[in-house]
Amino acid sequence: MTDQPFSAIKGEVKPEDLAAGITGLGLSFPIQDCQRIYYPYDWHVFRYRARTILGATTTLVSCLVDTRTRICATADPFRLETRTAGDDWMLGRHLDRDTALGLARRYADHVARRKNKALVLPRVDVVESRPVYKPFWVTHCNPGSGAAQTMLIDGVTGDYCTLRG
């Protein structure tokens, strides 16, 4: 636990949503308790500029690198907020920033190449590069069919999966 401020992706799923039984997420059983966890990513935005028949194109690729599993993915737009951990948990990074940048660049190159459909050499600039944390909720619930389940809920999208059950 730390009181150092950090950049977090603004979460749309609130504790009150969880307390209400998250019926909006398609589940019909109540949540017993919940714990917010901040998960560490590196966020990189690359700008690709290339000349094509349609004129000069500029493509921005926003890429999140999971600093624990090294998995990269393009990201939907999100808003950032400054948070302190308080009672929330923060998971530690397993990846240094240079390695994360290298992974993000390789992934973004791949995505941009597939999208542009042209054998051109683009000019690439790093527009944004910073560590960010994303909120998740770990909840316990009893679906009524026997054993309780521990579920993980994405604090931004509301997506969920079981951790144990």
Interacting positions 98-127 with another protein (CB under 8 A): 103, 106-107, 110-121
17: part of which helix (H) or strand (E)?
A: helix 15-19
Show the CA angle centred on residue 147, arms to residues 141 and 29, nearest 5°. 30
* CB 129, CB 105: distance < 8 Å: no
State which residue, 5 or 148, has the beta carbon closest to another protein: 148
143 binding another protein? (CB under 8 A): yes
- Contacting residue, 6, 12, 30, 37, with another protein by CB under 8 A: 37
**Part in contact with another protein (CB under 8 A); list of ranges 2-10, 13-21, 151-159:** 151-159
- What's the CA gap between 23 and 17, in Å, rounded? 9
Of residues 38 through 97, those in contact with another protein by CB under 8 A are 39, 45, 50-54, 57-62, 66, 68-71, 73-77, 87, 89, 91
Size of the site for another protein (CB under 8 A): 68
Interatomic CA distance for residues 36 and 34, integer angstroms: 7
Q: Are 95 and 68 in contact (CB under 8 A)?
A: yes
Residue 7 binding another protein, by CB under 8 A = no
